[in-house]
């Protein structure tokens, strides 16, 4: 293994001349420009079966590779190769895995008069190569099972006349292309089919019965879900169904819940009516249910309590009219509960069961009509928000899918979209309701919280000094309440606090100084006329503005992660983001593709551990 060794320039192949029994050679992550042999003869490693030359800055297909007749695995990804001719692989009769991804632009042609057949080729990755059309090379690869053509510029329609290929494909990724219509599925053995983020219009065409994962989000589909995909007498067993971000409509048939989904994502469509009582029997299958941003109404089906494996439940932005679903507290795996922007109402009763919602990490009840006191007993129960430091940093649902779970949170009246959710992320948003009374001291026990938003309620009393225990807190919003007294000096201990909003309350006295508090501007305190000291204009008579502590460096979170966000509504002028991570899927994925994804994740994890 010579990867990541800062090798650069020309690599002299004679260095390997004595390694006649070499089977695996990895030169990835170096800056090699060429490969030469001192004898200028064809160079071969007769026993070499695996060659990795990814991220080597190579601009053309290495000639010496043509002579490696025993290769089973060839990785040339993340280079600058622009032309690949099929005849370059004439000697590779045993080649099984070929990765040419991230060579932009890459042209795949065939100068030979004879169609090239690689009889053992099972895995082919051509992702992110700026390919504009499907190559004839694909039509002759009858052993191909795993094909990744994602993130290209492939255009046109999938029709029976023009696309009769891939009869043995098991995994096909055509996401992030420019396909416009889907009239036919030539892939009769397909198990994982990703057509997300294209321009596909018209009604939804049910996938082949062999399909276990069907992802066709972010297209232009319309109409209802076809009955064939929802027929309990059919052979469909779709574990992962993602129809999100389309224009699909209609009521949801009850049989859709009988297909034992692990992930069911129907968000950002126009479905309406009651959520059916799908789950009449106890099961551990359903893990993620996302119905965000539709027109569902009525009450929540109590049968959801039978989904004992449920980890994520997102019902935001609908018209559901119900009281707080306390019976969901019995779900032993529930980590994310989002009920924002509905018509939930009434008081949240105290719970005598200490295990209720004990695994919950993200709770969003914002923009509803809840009233009464904040649920003190639930704050005691939220064990999932108290000790995430010992939890391995991975993605919620990692190992099950490359389905990406996103989540919206509101910060200073701006909606941020979390594109990724890590197992170490914890947040509470109970804003824009009718809660009253004091903020419980027990909130200070939730030491893994990163976001706390209790704004736009009728809360009274003092800000608890125990909030100073929330050492990981990055955003605190208590604005638009009736809070009184001084701002606790303990809040200056929140070293990672990047957003603070205490505006429109009845706070008094000197604004604490030091650490992060020296970075907050007047808008964090506006509407509290009795506050004084920096940064407000009112002087306390003895306070001087603190010296600036800004450094000219990129705003990083406490975890050294890049913060990526999508802003909706009006901007607040702050650089803000959240610790987050993709939910990956590895079922039946090619090992080389899973390895590539894991490497990207590992780089983030190394950054995290380095900065702890």
On whether the CB atoms of residues 245 and 266 are closer than 8 A, the answer is no
Using the predicted structure, report yes or no on whether residue 565 has a pLDDT greater than 60: no
| Confidence at residue 88, expressed as pLDDT on a 0 to 100 scale | 83
On whether the CB atoms of residues 177 and 198 are closer than 8 A, the answer is yes
Average pLDDT, the chain: 81
Find the range with the poorest average confidence among 130-139, 203-212, 219-228, 357-366.
130-139
Q: How confident is the model over 536-540, as a mean pLDDT? A: 89
13 Ramachandran zone, left/alpha/beta (phi>0; psi -120 to 50): alpha
**Distance between the two ends of the chain, CA-based, in angstroms?**
30
| Confidence at residue 136, expressed as pLDDT on a 0 to 100 scale | 75
| Confidence at residue 105, expressed as pLDDT on a 0 to 100 scale | 82
14 Ramachandran zone, left/alpha/beta (phi>0; psi -120 to 50): alpha
1 vs 320, which has greater pLDDT? 320
Structure tokens at 403: 């389905």
| Confidence at residue 38, expressed as pLDDT on a 0 to 100 scale | 53
Which has the closest alpha carbon to 363: 353, 354, 374? 374
255 vs 577, which has greater pLDDT? 255
Q: Which residue has the tokens 């983020």?
A: 197
> Phi, psi at residue 611, to the nearest 5°?
-95, 0
| Confidence at residue 587, expressed as pLDDT on a 0 to 100 scale | 32
Distance CA 129, CA 80 (A): 10
Distance CA 219, CA 177 (A): 11
| Confidence at residue 436, expressed as pLDDT on a 0 to 100 scale | 98
On whether the CB atoms of residues 287 and 397 are closer than 8 A, the answer is yes
Find the range with the poorest average confidence among 271-285, 410-424, 557-571.
557-571
> Phi, psi at residue 8, to the nearest 5°?
-150, 165
Length of the chain: 612
pLDDT band of 253, cuts 50, 70, 90:
confident
DSSP percent split of the chain into helix, strand, coil, nearest 5: 15, 25, 60
**Preceding omega of 535 cis (within 30 degrees of 0):** yes
Stated as kind and residue range, the H or E segment containing 376 is helix 376-381
Using the predicted structure, report yes or no on whether residue 301 has a pLDDT greater than 50: yes
> Phi, psi at residue 271, to the nearest 5°?
-70, 150
Using the predicted structure, report yes or no on whether residue 544 has a pLDDT greater than 70: no
31 vs 586, which has greater pLDDT? 31
Using the predicted structure, report yes or no on whether residue 566 has a pLDDT greater than 70: no
400 vs 170, which has greater pLDDT? 170
Distance CA 378, CA 356 (A): 7
Using the predicted structure, report yes or no on whether residue 403 has a pLDDT greater than 60: yes
Three-state DSSP state, 109: strand
* Burial letters 414-431, b for 16+ CB under 10 A, else e: bebebbbbbbbbbbbbbb
Distance CA 442, CA 610 (A): 32
- Report CA-CA distances (Å) from 605 to 92, 381, 395: 37, 29, 11
| Confidence at residue 606, expressed as pLDDT on a 0 to 100 scale | 44
Provide the 10 A C-beta neighbour count for residue 233.
6
Q: How confident is the model over 249-270, as a mean pLDDT? A: 83
325 vs 279, which has greater pLDDT? 325
pLDDT band of 167, cuts 50, 70, 90:
confident
Q: How confident is the model over 460-467, as a mean pLDDT? A: 98
Distance CA 296, CA 223 (A): 16
Q: What is the 3-state secondary structure (H, E, C) of 219-234?
A: CEEEECCCHHHHCCCC
Distance CA 454, CA 473 (A): 14
Which residues share a beta bridge with 476?
452, 500
Q: Is 91 buried (19+), middle (13-18) or exposed (0-12) by CB count in 10 A? A: middle
Q: How confident is the model over 12-40, as a mean pLDDT? A: 71
Q: How far is CA 42 from the centre of its chain?
A: 47
| Pure H helices in 196-327 | none
| Confidence at residue 560, expressed as pLDDT on a 0 to 100 scale | 32
Using the predicted structure, report yes or no on whether residue 261 has a pLDDT greater than 50: yes
Q: How confident is the model over 140-154, as a mean pLDDT? A: 92
Using the predicted structure, report yes or no on whether residue 180 has a pLDDT greater than 70: yes
Provide the 10 A C-beta neighbour count for residue 574.
16
* Burial letters 238-252, b for 16+ CB under 10 A, else e: bbbbbbbbbebeeeb
pLDDT band of 610, cuts 50, 70, 90:
very low
Query: Per residue in 210-223, pLDDT tens?
Result: 898 999 999 999 99
Using the predicted structure, report yes or no on whether residue 564 has a pLDDT greater than 90: no
| Confidence at residue 236, expressed as pLDDT on a 0 to 100 scale | 62
> Phi, psi at residue 178, to the nearest 5°?
-125, 30
Q: Which residue has the tokens 């018509």?
A: 343
Q: How confident is the model over 36-51, as a mean pLDDT? A: 71
- Report CA-CA distances (Å) from 94 to 71, 101, 409: 6, 20, 51
pLDDT band of 110, cuts 50, 70, 90:
low
Stated as kind and residue range, the H or E segment containing 60 is none
On whether the CB atoms of residues 370 and 385 are closer than 8 A, the answer is no
| Confidence at residue 569, expressed as pLDDT on a 0 to 100 scale | 28
Q: Is 114 buried (19+), middle (13-18) or exposed (0-12) by CB count in 10 A? A: exposed
On whether the CB atoms of residues 312 and 333 are closer than 8 A, the answer is no
Distance CA 77, CA 93 (A): 21
Find the range with the poorest average confidence among 1-15, 325-339, 350-364, 374-388.
1-15
Q: How confident is the model over 136-164, as a mean pLDDT? A: 85
Question: What predicted TM-score, i.e. pTM, was given to this entire model?
Answer: 0.84
Three-state DSSP state, 567: strand
Distance CA 502, CA 162 (A): 62
| Confidence at residue 6, expressed as pLDDT on a 0 to 100 scale | 52
Structure tokens at 607: 């950054």
Task: Give all domains of the chain, ordered by start, each with its CATH number.
Answer: 1-144 (3.80.10.10), 324-330+347-547+555-612 (3.80.10.10)
Side-chain half-sphere CA neighbours of 300 within 13 A = 24
106 Ramachandran zone, left/alpha/beta (phi>0; psi -120 to 50): beta
């Amino acid at each position: 293994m010579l990867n990541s060794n800062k090798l650069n320039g020309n690599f002299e192949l004679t260095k390997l001349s004595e390694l006649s029994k070499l089977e695996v050679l990895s030169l990835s992550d170096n800056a090699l420009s060429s490969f030469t042999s001192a004898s200028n003869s064809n160079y071969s490693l007769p026993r070499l079966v695996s060659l990795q030359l990814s991220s080597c800055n190579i601009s053309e297909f290495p000639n010496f590779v043509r002579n490696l007749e025993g290769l089973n695995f060839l990785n040339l990804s993340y280079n600058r190769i622009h032309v690949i001719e099929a005849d370059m692989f004439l000697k590779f009769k045993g080649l099984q895995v070929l990765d040419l991804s991230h060579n932009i632009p890459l042209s795949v042609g065939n100068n030979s008069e004879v169609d090239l057949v690689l009889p053992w080729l099972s895995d082919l990755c051509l992702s992110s190569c700026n390919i504009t059309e499907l190559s004839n090379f694909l039509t002759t690869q009858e052993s191909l099972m795993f094909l990744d053509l994602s993130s290209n510029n492939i255009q046109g329609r999938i029709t029976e006349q023009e696309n009769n290929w891939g009869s043995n494909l098991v995994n096909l990724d055509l996401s992030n292309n420019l396909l416009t219509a889907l009239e036919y599925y030539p892939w009769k053995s397909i198990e994982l089919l990703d057509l997300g983020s294209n321009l596909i219009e018209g009604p939804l065409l049910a996938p082949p019965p062999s399909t276990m994962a069907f992802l066709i989000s972010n297209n232009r589909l319309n109409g209802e879900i076809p009955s064939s995909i929802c027929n309990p007498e059919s052979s469909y067993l779709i574990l992962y169904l993602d129809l999100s971000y389309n224009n699909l409509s209609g009521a949801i048939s009850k049989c859709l819940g009988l297909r034992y989904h692990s992930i069911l994502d129907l968000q950002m469509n126009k479905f309406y009516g009651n959520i059916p009582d799908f789950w009449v029997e106890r099961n551990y299958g359903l893990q993620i249910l996302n119905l965000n941003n539709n027109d569902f109404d009525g009450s929540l089906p109590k049968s959801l309590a039978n989904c004992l494996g449920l980890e994520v439940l997102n019902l935001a932005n609908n018209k559901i009219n119900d009281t707080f679903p306390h019976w969901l507290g019995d779900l032993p795996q529930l980590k994310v509960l989002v009920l924002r922007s509905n018509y939930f109402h009434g008081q949240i009763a105290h719970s005598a069961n200490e295990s209720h919602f004990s695994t919950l990490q993200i709770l969003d009840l914002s923009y509803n009509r809840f009233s009464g006191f904040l649920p003190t007993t639930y704050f005691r129960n939220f064990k999932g928000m108290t000790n995430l430091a010992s939890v391995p940093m991975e993605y919620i649902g990692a190992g099950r899918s490359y389905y990406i779970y996103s989540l919206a949170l509101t910060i200073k009246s701006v909606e941020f979209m979390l594109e990724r959710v890590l197992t170490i992320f914890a947040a509470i948003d109970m804003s824009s309701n009718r809660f009253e009374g004091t903020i419980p001291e027990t909130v200070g026990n939730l030491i893994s919280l990163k976001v706390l938003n209790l704004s736009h309620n009728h809360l009274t009393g003092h800000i608890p000094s125990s909030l100073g225990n929330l050492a990981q807190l990055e955003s605190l919003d208590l604005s638009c309440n009736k809070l009184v007294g001084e701002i606790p000096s303990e809040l200056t201990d929140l070293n990672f606090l990047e957003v603070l909003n205490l505006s429109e309350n009845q706070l008094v006295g000197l604004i604490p100084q030091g650490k992060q508090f020296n970075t907050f501007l007047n808008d964090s305190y506006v509407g509290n006329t009795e506050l004084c000291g920096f940064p407000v204009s009112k002087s306390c008579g003895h306070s001087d503005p603190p010296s600036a502590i800004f450094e000219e460096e990129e705003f990083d979170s406490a975890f050294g992660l890049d913060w990526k966000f999508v802003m909706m509504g009006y901007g607040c002028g702050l650089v803000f983001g959240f610790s987050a991570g993709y939910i990956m899927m590895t079922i039946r994925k090619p090992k080389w593709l899973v390895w590539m994804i894991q490497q990207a994740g590992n780089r983030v994890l190394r950054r995290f551990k380095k900065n702890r």
